[in-house]
Amino acid sequence: MPEGLAVRIEDLSITYKVSLESKRTLKNALMRASLRQESRMRTIEAVKHMTLDIPHGSVLGIVGSNGAGKSTLMRCIAGILTPTQGRVAVNGKISTLLALGVGFNPALSGRDNIILGGLASGLSKEEIESKTDEIAKFADLPDGFIDLPVRTYSSGMYGRLSFSVAVSMTPDILLLDEALSAGDAAFKEKSFERMRQLCAEARTILIVSHALATVTDLCDEAIWMHKGTMLAQGKPDKIVDEYLKFLNVGTLPSSYEDM
C-alpha cells in the first residue's frame, strides 16, 4: 500500500442475499422443506466495482440516496463486512460510529457504557478508564448523569455520548454514519471543531450524511454513490450540487446514464 494512503479500495463489490420471507423461522423452513419449496431469496448488489484511494488527513463525504450502498461501504472499510470481490486495504486504527448507541446497555450507567464501548473498540481497560471523564465532559452530560443509567438520558445526550466515545479513541481513521445529527447546534460546532483537530493531526475521516451542509462545511473531498456505484468524485460543493440537481429532477445527469 503506497505511503500517504489511509484507505485503498480496489474493484470492490459487495453482494449478499436477503430472504423475501416475512419471517424466517424454523417452522417456515420445515414447512418449505416438507413441501419441497425453495426459499425465496433476492441478491442485493450493494457495492459494484468501486475503486477509490483516500489519503491520510482527508475528510471524505459520502452522499447518495437510501440504498446507495454508503453504509455497506463503510462497514466493509471497518472490516465488519467482507468483500465479495476486490480488496480493501486500511492503513491505521479505525474508530466507528455506524449505529448509534453502540455497546450501550440502558440499565447501566454512562460510565459503564463508555468502558464497554471502548473495550469493544479494542482499547485496554486502563486506556478507556483514563478517558472516561474526558468523554463525559465532551458529551456535555449534566452533572452526575455520567453515573446514572443510560435509560434516563434524553436522545440528544445518548447521541452525544456515542459520538464522544467514537472520537475519543484517537483513531487514525474515523468512520461516521449519520452521527452528526445528534446534539444541538452548539454540540455540532464542537464536534466539527474536534474533527478539524483530528484532521490537523493527519487523521482521516469518512462521513456519510444526508445533511449536505455538513459535507460542504467539513469535507475536502466527496463522492456520490447511487445504487452501489460511485457516480462522481470531486470537491464537495460540486458533488453536492450535482446530487441536489439529481434529487430535484429525479433523473441522473446524462453523463452518468451509462454508469
Partner 1 sequence: MPTNQDFVSKVQVFEPHKASLPPLIPYVKEFWSRRTFAIELARFNDKAEYLGSRLGKVWLILNPLLLGIVYYVVIVIIRGGSDHNGLTRLNHLLIGLFTFYFAQSTVMAGAQSITLGGRLILNQAFPRTLLPFSCAIQAFREFLPTIPVYVLVLVVGKWIYPATQIAGISWNFLWIPFIIVCIAFTAFGLALLFATMNVYFRDTNKLLTYITRIWMYLSPILWLPSSLHGKAKLLLYVNPLGPALTANSRVWIDDTGLSRNVIVGCIFWAVTSMCVGGYFFISRERDFAIRI
d(CA 195, CA 175): 11
d(CA 10, CA 249): 32
Q: Which residues pair with 149 in a beta bridge?
A: 109
d(CA 143, CA 213): 32
CB closer to partner 1, 88 vs 215: 88
d(CA 213, CA 197): 19
Residues that bind partner 1 (CB under 8 A): 1, 3-4, 6, 16, 18, 23-27, 29, 56, 75-76, 78-94, 96-105, 107-108, 112, 115-116, 119-122, 124-125, 149, 172, 201-203
d(CA 241, CA 234): 11
**Closest CB 245 distance from partner 1, rounded Å:** 32
CB closer to partner 1, 172 vs 242: 172
d(CA 174, CA 206): 6
Q: Which amino acid is at 124?
A: S
**Closest CB 105 distance from partner 1, rounded Å:** 5
CB closer to partner 1, 51 vs 255: 51
CB closer to partner 1, 200 vs 249: 200
CB closer to partner 1, 29 vs 247: 29
**Closest CB 185 distance from partner 1, rounded Å:** 26
**Closest CB 3 distance from partner 1, rounded Å:** 5
Alpha-carbon dihedral 184, 224, 220, 167, rounded to 10 degrees: 50
**Closest CB 75 distance from partner 1, rounded Å:** 6
